[in-house]
Amino acid sequence: MNTEMILIVDIDADDRLREIDREYAEFISTSMEDYGLRQPIEVRKVGKRYKLITGGHRLVAAKLLDWVDIPAVVLKANDLEARLLEIDENLFRRELSPLDHSTFLAKRKEVYEALHPETKHGGDRKSDQSDKLGDLIASFSEETAERMGISSRSIERAVARYKNILPDVRQQIAGTWVANSGSQLDELAKQTPEMQRQVVDFVQKWPRLRKVSEIVRQIEQRPKPKAPGTYEKFIALWRKATADERKQILTYLSPELPGFQTEREAA
């Protein structure tokens, strides 16, 4: 791929899926000032201007340094292809919070299935040829799981988080402790829309309490659950134990159980 020097004023960088982290851009600018830009940004030509595909933080860093132009690779891509490149740039190259991760995976699913509608579950398959093509092209979960090296179930759970949390709630929890915990996002996603908004208000007013289930309990004014006693703890332990572990427990308890014999004693 050939790299060109593109005037920064000719590059449009609006309609991005993720807001620019100013602090991170400033960090990049320090390296760029000393060593230059080692990885060009990617753009596509739209009329007489260029639209940014990947490299939002590098572009902002260049502006902070008052650069006039910037090295860029000009790609041929339509709207969907460009969006997929932007998503993958974030998914595969930079650490994301669980909330951001869910957002990019959900958007990737939308774009992937728009590019390959024959792979969409319950999608429009108007011919036998479409059926055969759908069998040849991996589903979104399969293709993404292989690329990222994680399970399809993890991907589907992340997408479900995005879909089940209200858009305005997602926006308000960005940058909070909720966004950085997959388990807390799952707990929030289970709540009704009204409760999700109440939880957000609570998080903003009482940031030290960091458990969604406890916030919900307090909002609903339910009594605090009683701590499990020794019996409840033992039953929970027994249920989790393997067959061998249960034998060990019974062997330990046998002197306290009249008439009970271990296998060794019975032999």
> What pLDDT shows up at residue 170?
94
> What pLDDT shows up at residue 130?
40
pTM of the predicted model as reported, rounded to 2 decimal places: 0.60
> What pLDDT shows up at residue 136?
44
Q: Is there a contact between 44 and 53 (Cβ–Cβ < 8 Å)?
A: yes
> What pLDDT shows up at residue 133?
38
Compute how many other C-beta atoms are within 10 angstroms of the C-beta atom of residue 138.
16
> What pLDDT shows up at residue 251?
85
Ranges of residues in the chain with a pLDDT under 50 are 123-136
229 burial class (0-12, 13-18, 19+ CB within 10 angstroms)?
Answer: exposed
Residue 49, strand partner residues: 46
Residue 50, strand partner residues: 11, 45
Give the residue from 52, 35, 168, 170 showing the smallest Cα distance to 101. 170
**H/E element, 45:** strand 41-46
CATH class name, domain 1-77:
alpha beta
Cα separation of 160 and 36, whole Å?
41
Domain layout of the chain by residue ranges? 1-77, 95-164, 166-225, 230-266
